[in-house]
């Protein structure tokens, strides 16, 4: 599906198309349809409006975000200390950190900066590198349809050296989505003789990332073992009354889960 969008030349419009199928747009459309029906089908109109309002409410709650996370996304777990210790002994191994967006200008610094999630991934990747002494590749260019400017990987390289005093070994600056992250990273590391790749990204993003890295390994005919190193995993929790109340963080979680689910469907 992703290749089909690219073939049609719609890559710059993918974010717009994605926004149209994500909350709150479908539920707003339901409310408008219900309003249109009031003149002829009053009962049916109320049902449609209430369904739209219920969807708007549900898409902003933690309880729905948690439910979707554990229903739509395969479970992930963090690396255990013993597994990290084993990585330290592994030859021809590299850590790959996937980007998560950037800001072209952070006024407080006067330069471009990674988005908070990108910083979280970079921090964990560099921490893992310290524990294992493995080299790090950061992968990320500019998103589909973005104007010219500094790539996310270039920003990450500056941040790694400036804030963590730990330079990156490689930067991949051309990829625009998770699929290209995987394809370009595998191609680069294959040339470097790497045989094991430790993939670092958030837990919610890991299933899609691993899908793409597996396909990239096959496509490039690489002899690579993949190790998932998720971070920021959301644990199961006992629901509270407040988890049914709309919140900004609840909406963000629902959006992240749906974004990943649809991303996996189209192979992005």
Averaged pLDDT, 122-146:
92
Distance CA 37, CA 30 (A): 11
Tell me the per-residue pLDDT of 78-130, one tens digit each, with 9 for 90 and over: 999 999 999 988 899 999 999 999 888 889 888 899 999 999 999 999 999 99
- Give the C-alpha distances (Å, rounded to integers) separating 126 from 78, 129, 133, 161, 163: 16, 5, 10, 10, 11
Together in a domain, 99 and 194: yes
Q: What is the pTM of this model?
A: 0.87
Together in a domain, 24 and 91: no
Three-class SS string for 159-198? HHHHHCCCCCCEEECCCCCHHHHHHHHHHHHHHCCCCEEE
pLDDT at 1 over 60: no
User: For tokens 């990450």, what's the residue?
Assistant: 156
Residues comprising the chain, all counted: 268
Together in a domain, 68 and 153: no
Reported as a pLDDT band with limits 50, 70 and 90, residue 2 is low
Residue 74 tokens, joined: 């395969």
DSSP 8-state code for residue 79: P
Tell me the per-residue pLDDT of 13-69, one tens digit each, with 9 for 90 and over: 566 666 777 888 889 999 999 988 888 888 999 999 999 999 999 999 999 998 898
| CATH number, residue 199 | 3.40.50.620
Averaged pLDDT, 153-161:
96
pLDDT at 242 over 70: yes
In a domain, residue 152? The reply is: yes
Distance CA 234, CA 33 (A): 36
Together in a domain, 223 and 146: yes
Tell me the per-residue pLDDT of 223-238, one tens digit each, with 9 for 90 and over: 999 999 999 987 777 8
Together in a domain, 97 and 223: yes
Beta carbons of 144 and 2 less than 8 angstroms apart: no
At 7 the pLDDT is: 45
Q: Count how many domains the chain has.
A: 2
Together in a domain, 92 and 58: no
Give residue 39's domain range.
2-73+245-266
Beta carbons of 64 and 250 less than 8 angstroms apart: yes
Three-class SS string for 27-68? HHHHHHHHHHHCCCCHHHHHHHHHHHHHHHHHCCCHHHHHHH
Together in a domain, 179 and 214: yes
Together in a domain, 103 and 207: yes
Together in a domain, 153 and 194: yes
At 11 the pLDDT is: 56
Together in a domain, 260 and 155: no
At 12 the pLDDT is: 55
Which helix (DSSP H) or strand (DSSP E) does residue 126 occupy? helix 116-132
Among 263, 227, 260, 211, which residue's Cα sits nearest to residue 73?
260
Distance CA 48, CA 29 (A): 10
Reported as a pLDDT band with limits 50, 70 and 90, residue 145 is low
- Give the C-alpha distances (Å, rounded to integers) separating 60 from 116, 129, 153, 191, 244: 21, 37, 32, 45, 9
Averaged pLDDT, 1-8:
51
Tell me the per-residue pLDDT of 68-77, one tens digit each, with 9 for 90 and over: 988 888 888 9
SS3 content of the chain, % helix, strand, coil (to 5): 55, 15, 30
Together in a domain, 133 and 48: no
Cross-strand pairs, 164: none
Together in a domain, 96 and 211: yes
């Amino acid at each position: 599906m992703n290749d089909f969008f690219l073939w049609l030349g719609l890559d710059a419009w993918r974010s717009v198309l994605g926004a149209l199928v994500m909350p709150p747009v479908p539920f707003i459309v339901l409310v408008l349809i219900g309003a249109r029906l009031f003149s002829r089908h009053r009962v049916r109109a109320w049902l449609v409006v209430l369904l739209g309002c219920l969807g708007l409410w549900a898409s902003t709650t933690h309880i729905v975000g948690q439910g979707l996370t554990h229903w739509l996304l395969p479970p992930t777990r963090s690396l255990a200390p013993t597994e990290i210790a084993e990585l330290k002994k592994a030859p021809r191994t590299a850590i790959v950190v996937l980007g998560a967006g950037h800001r072209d200008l952070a006024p407080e610094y006067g330069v471009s900066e990674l988005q908070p999630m990108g910083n979280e991934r970079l921090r964990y990747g560099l921490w893992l590198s310290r524990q294992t002494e493995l080299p790090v590749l950061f992968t990320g260019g500019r998103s589909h349809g973005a104007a010219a400017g500094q790539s996310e990987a270039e920003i990450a390289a500056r941040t790694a050296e400036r804030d963590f005093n730990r330079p990156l070994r490689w930067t991949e600056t051309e990829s625009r989505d998770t699929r290209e992250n995987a394809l370009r990273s595998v191609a680069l590391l294959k040339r470097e003789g790497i045989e094991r790749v430790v993939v670092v990204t958030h837990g919610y993003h890991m299933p899609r990332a691993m899908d793409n890295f597996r396909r990239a390994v096959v496509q490039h005919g690489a002899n690579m073992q993949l190790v998932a190193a998720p971070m920021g995993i959301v644990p199961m929790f006992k629901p509270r009354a407040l988890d049914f109340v709309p919140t900004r963080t609840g909406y963000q979680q629902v959006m992240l889960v749906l974004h990943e689910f649809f991303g996996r469907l189209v192979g992005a």
